Amino acid sequence: MDAPEAPRDAAGDDLDEADRLEVERGLRFTHIMMTMNKSQGNEAIASIQALAALLVRKGMIDPDEFGEELAVARDAIGRVVQPTVRLAAMGDKYAEGESVDIDCASRIPLCGARCCSFAFFLTEQDVAEGVARWDYGNPYWIKRADDGFCVHCEPETRACGIHASRPHVCRKYDCRNDPRVWIDFEARIPAPMPPPGRTMPIAMAEVDASADSIARGERERASGHQQAP
């Protein structure tokens, strides 16, 4: 099998390690700023919606009424699915006691390594190492292959291709009492294998910040009930 090609810049030149780290650093900065902007933008939209509703209905602003309208608008914004950057801080994954002691190798033929199909996000340490691959469309969730499994889970054996540097979450995860994996761990009876997971869309979902979604919240408030999102 041919070795994978090294990353290239816009001019087609190979990126050296220093350049790659700088690109990753820039991406992390962008993701942090995106999270901040989203939070500030949500607050601004909620305030504008609340103010507009109050002005139309009353023609004046009262502090208590404005607070009520702001709470309604915040709730409407909160029910809109929006992208969020996820990055955990769990300390040193190589420290003593950070790995659960389970004989995974002997159980993979039974469980099919289904824990490797679970979605989770990496830690600051995982990202800094640059070993575990994350989904650029959903920072910093573990990257998954088309079959729904982690890209580091080898298709033929279901063994972990980066076991020595596996993410912190993988080290801490204990499948023994997880009904998604085992009916009876001690008796080595696995749960039914779930269907393959779908590929995660960019930003986890299509962002819908349209006026219609806000208007729906206002209509529900006026009617005295709310529908399930």
Q: Could you report the per-residue pLDDT of 54-110, keeping only the tens digit for each? A: 887 877 878 788 788 888 888 888 787 666 788 899 999 999 999 999 999 999 999
Distance CA(117)–CA(102), nearest Å, equals 18
Is a pLDDT exceeding 50 seen at residue 4? no
Is a pLDDT exceeding 50 seen at residue 2? no
Distance CA(73)–CA(209), nearest Å, equals 12
Supply the pTM of this predicted model. Answer: 0.62
Q: Could you report the per-residue pLDDT of 170-192, keeping only the tens digit for each? A: 999 999 999 999 999 999 999 99
What 3-state DSSP class applies to 48?
helix
Distance CA(185)–CA(111), nearest Å, equals 10
> CB–CB of 124/89 below 8 Å?
yes
Distance CA(186)–CA(9), nearest Å, equals 52
Residue 190: what residue type?
P
Distance CA(150)–CA(219), nearest Å, equals 42
* Other CB atoms within 10 A of residue 19 CB: 13
Q: Residues in the chain, how many?
A: 229
